[in-house]
């Protein structure tokens, strides 16, 4: 089963009396899956979170329903889990009060999974794969790591293209042999990949393709690389390849740059009129890729016009419903606002650079960093949580559901970051990723003191 890594920020919360309960680690959970034993899991998150990602076979009993469904918890020795362990601990405490204590807790919750997989993929791949195969998740998204997936090689053995081609840009093509557009896409992609050593290709014919048609298509394209089979169509379904030809491009870091029903040389409106070939070329050159259009900005304005003006005030919430009011933030310290989209590589780089800045300077010393992003729904929120968890990002991430705040700050490209002094005046505006972030912020702070 393909595991799309849609996870949340790891936040440790104290668990009161439920801490006396036995905790199950992810290693132990993997051992249970490997042994073929029954893994009795109850997920106490919301149905929306459950649908995004959950362990296979888990029963969803949301926290707000647990009090009315206590009988179900007494049926067997369940392992309770949530995102971080907080809600599972609270449910466990409630159950203990009702005399039900033959339960266990998954230590750290499902938010521990991405870091666990990252640490174990090379050192203990069997354990990592045991968990990956038992995670049910929605489709992967642009700007997020594409999870490892399993297909059949030409010799019938199971293969993992993303592992085999690690460190290269990977072009994945789902095509329908014998279809004119599909065969043309295959031929163009093969011609390009054969001339670029930094690119690998995984060609996957649609399920139920006639072997003779597959052979003829490959021969016409002069393709001598690896061909993978998806006999049941499970991989195509998991990667949202519902029609042919569908391309997915994954950069050398494993980030999905695009996934689209398109030809190799067709311009894609949602990718700034770039083609698959151009996206691959940009990735090879190390250039940032334009993130998919959000549709928020019909009018383009120059953000530099904001310099010296009063910053538009706003109050936005994070995914947990916590409210962040810029006016209240400025009452204690200057603010750094960074507007971003997770689908933009430069946005991701800037966020991690700001996390490094906080680590060096201390979170409460110089600035309050607020990251602002469009509200892309629960799937996007879960991706951001996982990204933050993996990269040590602890500053708040808030969502701009209407796009009004981004419009007020003239955001027409990301990342855009704005430094606001305590009087509410905008002192610095920058668009794009800057490696010398610490110097820029320290210089801005020095100017405020003059």
Q: What is the CATH number of the domain that holds 251?
A: 3.40.30.10
Same structural domain, 313 and 417: yes
Which residues make Cβ contacts (< 8 Å) with residue 38, sequence separation at least 6? Answer: none
Domain identity same for 240 and 163: yes
* pLDDT in the model for residue 172: 95
296 occurs within a structural domain: no
* Same domain as 334, residue 211: no
- Give, in degrees to the nearest 5, the angle at Cα 171 between 170 and 173: 140
**How confident is the model at residue 8, as a pLDDT?**
29
Does residue 268 sit in the same domain as residue 378? no
For the entire predicted model, the pTM comes to 0.44
Q: Does residue 175 sit in the same domain as residue 50?
A: no
Same domain flag for 274 and 182:
yes
For 66-86, b/e burial (b = at least 16 CB within 10 A) is beeebeebeeeebbbbbbbbb
Decide if 405 is inside a domain.
yes
Task: Write out residues in the chain with pLDDT < 70, as ranges.
Answer: 1-19, 48, 52, 114-115, 118, 121-122, 137-145, 154, 269-272, 287-304, 343, 363-364, 375-377, 379, 412-413, 450
**155 lies in the same domain as 258:** yes
- Quote the domain boundaries for residue 256: 144-285
Q: Which residue has the tokens 């029609």?
A: 243
Residues 47 and 105 in one domain: yes
Select from 127, 59, 124, 70 the least CA-distant residue to 101: 70
Is 324 in the same domain as 361?
A: yes
Same domain flag for 207 and 84: no
Whether 2 maps to a domain, the answer reads no
Residue 135 lies in a domain: no
Q: Tell me: do 352 and 397 sit in the same domain.
A: yes
Please, what is the Cα angle at 384 between 422 and 420, to 5 degrees?
10
Domain total in the chain: 3
Alpha-carbon gap, residue 421 to 383, rounded angstroms: 31
At 293 the pLDDT is 38
For residue 308, how far is the Cα from the chain centroid?
Answer: 36
Is residue 223 domain-resident? yes
Give the pLDDT of residue 411.
Answer: 76
The CATH number of whichever domain residue 59 belongs to comes to: 3.40.250.10
Structure tokens, 134: 């038992």
Which two structure tokens, joined as six digits, stand for 172? 């994945």
User: Both 236 and 196 in a single domain?
Assistant: yes
């Amino acid at each position: 089963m393909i595991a799309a890594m849609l996870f949340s920020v790891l936040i440790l919360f104290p668990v009161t009396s439920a801490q006396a309960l036995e905790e199950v680690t992810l290693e132990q959970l993997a051992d249970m899956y490997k042994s073929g034993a029954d893994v009795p899991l109850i997920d106490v998150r919301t149905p929306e979170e459950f649908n995004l990602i959950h362990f296979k076979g888990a029963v969803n009993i949301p926290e707000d329903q647990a009090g009315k469904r206590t009988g179900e918890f007494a049926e067997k020795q369940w392992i309770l889990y949530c995102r971080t362990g907080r809600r599972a601990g609270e449910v466990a405490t409630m159950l203990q009060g009702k005399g039900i204590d033959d339960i266990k807790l998954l230590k750290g919750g499902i938010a521990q999974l991405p870091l666990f997989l990252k640490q174990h993929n090379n050192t203990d791949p069997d354990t990592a794969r045991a968990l990956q195969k038992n995670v049910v998740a929605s489709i992967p998204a642009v700007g997020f790591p594409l999870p490892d997936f399993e297909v059949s090689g030409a010799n019938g053995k199971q293969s993992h293209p993303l592992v085999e081609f690690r460190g290269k840009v990977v072009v994945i093509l789902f095509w329908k042999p014998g279809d004119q557009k599909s065969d043309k896409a295959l031929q163009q992609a093969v011609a390009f990949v054969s001339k670029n050593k930094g690119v690998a290709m995984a060609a996957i014919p649609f399920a139920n393709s006639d072997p003779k048609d597959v052979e003829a298509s490959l021969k016409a394209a002069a393709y001598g690389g690896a061909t993978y089979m998806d006999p049941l169509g499970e991989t195509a379904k998991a990667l949202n390849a519902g029609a042919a030809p569908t391309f997915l491009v994954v950069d050398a870091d494993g980030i999905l740059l695009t996934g689209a029903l398109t030809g190799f040389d067709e311009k894609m409106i949602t990718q700034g009129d770039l083609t698959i070939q151009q996206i691959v070329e940009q990735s090879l050159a190390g250039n940032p890729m334009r993130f998919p259009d959000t549709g928020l900005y019909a009018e383009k304005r120059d953000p530099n016009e904001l310099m010296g003006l009063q910053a538009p005030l706003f109050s936005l919430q994070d995914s947990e419903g916590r409210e962040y009011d810029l006016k209240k933030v400025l009452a204690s310290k200057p603010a750094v606002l960074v507007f971003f989209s997770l689908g933009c590589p430069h946005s991701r780089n800037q966020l991690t650079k700001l996390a490094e800045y906080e680590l060096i300077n201390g979170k409460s010393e110089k600035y309050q960093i607020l990251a602002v992003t469009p509200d892309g729904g629960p799937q996007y929120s879960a991706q951001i949580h996982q990204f933050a968890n993996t990269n040590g990002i602890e500053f708040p991430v808030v969502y701009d559901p209407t796009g009004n705040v981004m419009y007020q700050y003239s955001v027409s490209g990301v990342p855009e970051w704005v430094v606001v002094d305590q009087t509410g005046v905008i002192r610095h505006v920058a668009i794009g990723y800057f490696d010398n972030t610490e110097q820029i912020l320290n210089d801005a702070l020095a100017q405020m003191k003059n």
